[in-house]
Amino acid sequence: MHKKCYKRELSLINIPNIRVGHVTHQDNATGCTVVICDQGACCGVDIRGNAPGTRDTALLAPHCTVEKVNAILLTGGSAFGLAAADGVMRYCQEQGYGFGMGTQKIPIVPAAVIYDFNIGKQSNAAPTAEDGYQACLNATDTENATGNVGAGTGAIVGKICGFSHAMRGGLGTAHRHFSNGLRVSAMVVVNTFGDVRHYADNRIIAGARSQDGGFIDAIKYIITEKQITPDCHSNTLIGVVASNAQLDKVALTQIAKMANIGVAQVITPAHTQYDGDTFFALATGDIKADATLVGIASTELVKQAILNAMLSAVGRDGFPATSELHFRTCS
C-alpha cells in the first residue's frame, strides 16, 4: 500500500478571512487545494466547456437559498477527487461553520476537479477525504506556493496532438490592491486542451510542441482540418477569484463569467467539449466596491495567474515546463 506523505505547502490569496492550503502527492502527481472562508463568503460560479466535474454548484445560482459558502475545494483525481470535499466538510463542522438547518449546521463546500491521471506512479490515484481535511489544517494566509502543488500537481497543457507533445501545467496566483482598500485575487489551476498565451503580447508560452522545438498552434492546427488525437480528453481549468467587496450572488455570478473571459483571452482554444472550465467568485463583504471594477480586475488577474502557473511549473516524466524552454517574461 502506498504510504502518503503530507508536505505542508502554503498559498496566499491575500484577502482577509480567507485562507488557502494544499496537500500534494508528488509520487502520484495529484493533490487538492482548499480555500477556507472563516467568516463565510458570498459566492457565484460560472461553468464552461462540456466536461465539468463539480459538487454543490447548483446551490450557488442567484435564486437559490444559500448565500454564503464556508470553503471551496479545487482538486485533482477527476470525479473521484470530489471525495476530498468530505474532509473539508468535516473540518468546517469542527469549526462550527455551516448553514443553519434545524439543530444542525451544514458546511457549504462547493468543489471542482481536473483530470490528472496522465502522470505519476499510480494512474488512478485521487485525493481523499483525509487529504481534504489535511489541506484545511495546512491553510494559512502568510505564504505563497505556486506551480505543481495542490490541485495543480498533475496538470498538463497542450494535448491536441497527444501527450508526447504536451507540457506541464500548474497552479498560479495573482493579486491587486486598490487605494480605497479593495483587494482582488485570483487562483487558477491550468490543465487545458489548448495553448497558453502571454497576456501582454499573445505569443504561445506553453502548449502542444512541434518536432522543430516550436509550438504547433492548436487553433491553426484545427482550422486546417487536422485530426485531433483521442488522448486530449483529459482537461479542465478551475479557479477562484476573491475580493473583500460587498457583492451579492447576482454580481458574483457575473464576475465568475468575467473570470472565464480572462481564460478565453489567453487559452486558445478555451471552453471546448474536452474542457470543464469552472470559476468560483467569492466576496467577503468588508468594503463597498463597484462590481464592474471587481469583474474587470478579476479578468486581468486570471490572465496573470495563468502566466504565473506556467512560469512556476517544473518539468516531469517527459513533460517539459515553460521555464525549461528558456521563456522570458516581457518587461
CATH at 181: 3.60.70.12
Q: Decide if 330 is inside a domain.
A: no
* Phi, psi (deg, nearest 5) at residue 218: -60, -40
Q: Decide if 55 is inside a domain.
A: yes
Q: Decide if 331 is inside a domain.
A: no
Q: Decide if 2 is inside a domain.
A: no
- DSSP state at residue 129: H
Q: Decide if 297 is inside a domain.
A: yes
**pLDDT tens-digit profile, the chain (331 residues):** 333 443 334 345 678 899 999 999 999 999 999 999 999 999 999 999 788 889 999 999 999 999 999 999 999 999 999 999 999 999 999 999 998 887 889 999 999 999 998 887 777 789 999 999 999 999 998 667 899 999 999 999 998 888 888 999 999 999 999 999 999 999 999 999 889 999 999 999 999 998 887 899 989 988 887 766 655 667 789 999 999 999 999 999 999 999 999 999 999 988 887 778 999 999 999 999 999 999 999 999 999 999 999 999 999 988 999 988 765 444 3
Q: Decide if 3 is inside a domain.
A: no
End-to-end CA distance of the chain: 49
In angstroms, the CA 3 to CA 285 distance is 42
In angstroms, the CA 73 to CA 32 distance is 7
266, 217, 221, 283: which is closest to 15 by C-alpha? 283
What local confidence, expressed as pLDDT, does residue 8 receive?
A: 36
Q: Decide if 198 is inside a domain.
A: yes
> How many domains does the chain fold into?
1
Helix (H, G, I), strand (E, B) or coil at 193: coil
Within 10 angstroms of residue 65's Cβ, the number of other Cβ atoms is 6
3-state secondary structure 3-71: CCCCCCEEECCCCCCEEEEEEEECCCCEEEEEEEEEEEEEEEEEECCCCCCEECCHHHCCCCCCCEEEE
Structural domain range at position 286: 9-325
Residues 273-312 pLDDT 10s:
777 899 999 999 999 999 999 999 999 999 999 999 999 9
List C-alpha distances in Å: 120 to 46, 169, 242, 281. Answer: 30, 14, 31, 31
- Count Cα neighbours of 324 within 13 Å in the Cβ-side half-sphere: 13
Q: Decide if 310 is inside a domain.
A: yes
